[in-house]
Amino acid sequence: MDPNLRQFYFFSDFLNRKVYSPSGKKVGKVTDLVAERIEPYPMVLGMLIRTKGKKRHFLPWEKMIQVEPRIVLNDEDLLEITTSLGERDVVFLREEVMDKQIVDTYGAKVVRVNDLHFLKVESRLRLVHVDVGFRGLMRRVGWERMVDRVLDWLFSYKLPNQFISWKYVQLLSGSDLLHLSVSLKKLSHLHPADLADIIEDLSGRERSAIFRALDPETAAETLEEIDPKIQKALIETIPVEKASDIVEEMSPSDAVDLLADLPEERAEEILDGMEQEKAEDLRELLVHPEETAGGLMTTAYLSLTPEVTVDTAIARLKAEAPNLDIMDYIYIVDEEESLQGVVSIRDLLTSQSHQPLSDIQVPRVVSVKLDEDQNEVVEIFAKYGFRALPVVDDENHLKGVISFRNVLEVLTPEAR
């Protein structure tokens, strides 16, 4: 191997370079680099060379006589790709990494891979960084030096490198082929709204690859923030068992909206795979038209009877909080689930611990019927300034609660 290797290279240093035989005859040109997936930094195994016959051949790294100033090989060193790589776990860097989108874990943004940065380690090259900056793009199109001169002359400024270490990224594999994304561990730490923006900005196959990699809880929180059309597409691409686990983690109102958009058969398969109690709640919500109060409400609220004390109510609220959509109020019902009153969390926290809820409840409760039009619901929210609104049937039985967030989605559906 060439002893004159530089300490580092970029992918753009190799792409489309001509390859010569020792006699100086042009053999072909470099179309890709092949690397073996070795942690933490992949090792370059060789190059793909396109010859005059338009065929692609593999040139093993150790078979190159020199790299600088030109790439030289022995005439017999070009091999068939499949035979030479065998069963090794490899990645074709131009095909599977270059120009792919990557999640910037610091800014939670989608950026593009413009170049790759290699470091020499014991006469071999290791992939150590992806270059996502403007400098990488200029280098790739051959304008790096010119841009440097112009910026230095005009502003005494040099474009910085924007590298992301390879150890912080990973290739997602599966039926969607290979796609570059942020480390799966880091995805779960992003805010669901940020992760939803990232997924929406990706192509269909990349969306699917990332979504499949999320745990059910993170997937559910993210799905609630995603555009309904993309929600439907994502949930239809995953196995029904995982879809059931994800929908089970969603808030009832969001889960119902999603299920209502799916084909009836698919929705029923998902419901069949869920816990029976949660599935029955969702089936009950599904019977209500989407544009009515029943279609807007959630069943994830806390209702208690009047004799429950303040300290017991606080304990129940803490215990059930992870599963509640409504946290601003506790609704007071009798044994028949008839709505009797409401207690705000503020009043609950400022009352004596031994007091029963009947002492602090507001008995005159504004509510809406199941079939109330959604526009009427919006007007009631605007008139009273509630953060949540109970929904009752004709016998005043509490059936659900509408959150202010659901009303916002009626007012600004494009914001979903």
Which carries the bigger pLDDT value, residue 305 or residue 416? 305
pLDDT digits (tens, 9 = 90+) for 359-376: 999 988 999 999 999 999
**Residue 336 to residue 313: CA distance in whole angstroms:** 19
Average pLDDT over residues 164-180: 57
* Residue 178 pLDDT greater than 60, yes or no: no
179: confidence class by pLDDT, cuts 50, 70, 90 = very low
176: confidence class by pLDDT, cuts 50, 70, 90 = very low
Please state the separation of Cα 110 from the chain's center in Å. 11
pLDDT digits (tens, 9 = 90+) for 226-258: 888 889 989 988 899 999 999 999 988 889 889
Identify the CA nearest to 105 among candidates 209, 197, 187, 161: 187
Identify the CA nearest to 261 among candidates 235, 241, 300, 299: 235
For residue 108, the model assigns a pLDDT of 46
pLDDT digits (tens, 9 = 90+) for 55-111: 888 888 888 888 888 888 876 666 665 556 767 788 899 988 888 877 654 444 567
211: confidence class by pLDDT, cuts 50, 70, 90 = confident
For residue 110, the model assigns a pLDDT of 63
Indicate the average pLDDT of the chain.
84
Amino acid letter for position 404: F
For residue 23, the model assigns a pLDDT of 83
Average pLDDT over residues 122-141: 88
Q: CB of 293 within 8 A of CB of 371?
A: yes
pTM of the entire predicted model: 0.53
Q: What is residue 30's DSSP assignment?
A: E
List the domains of the chain with CATH numbers.
183-287 (1.25.60.10), 303-415 (3.10.580.10)
Which carries the bigger pLDDT value, residue 136 or residue 76? 136
Identify the CA nearest to 310 among candidates 243, 262, 274, 356: 356
For residue 132, the model assigns a pLDDT of 83
The proportion of the chain whose per-residue pLDDT surpasses 90, expressed as a percent, equals 36
Q: CB of 274 within 8 A of CB of 247?
A: yes
Scored b (16 or more CB within 10 A) or e, 44-58 reads bbbbbbbeeeeeebb
Identify the CA nearest to 301 among candidates 281, 279, 282, 323: 323
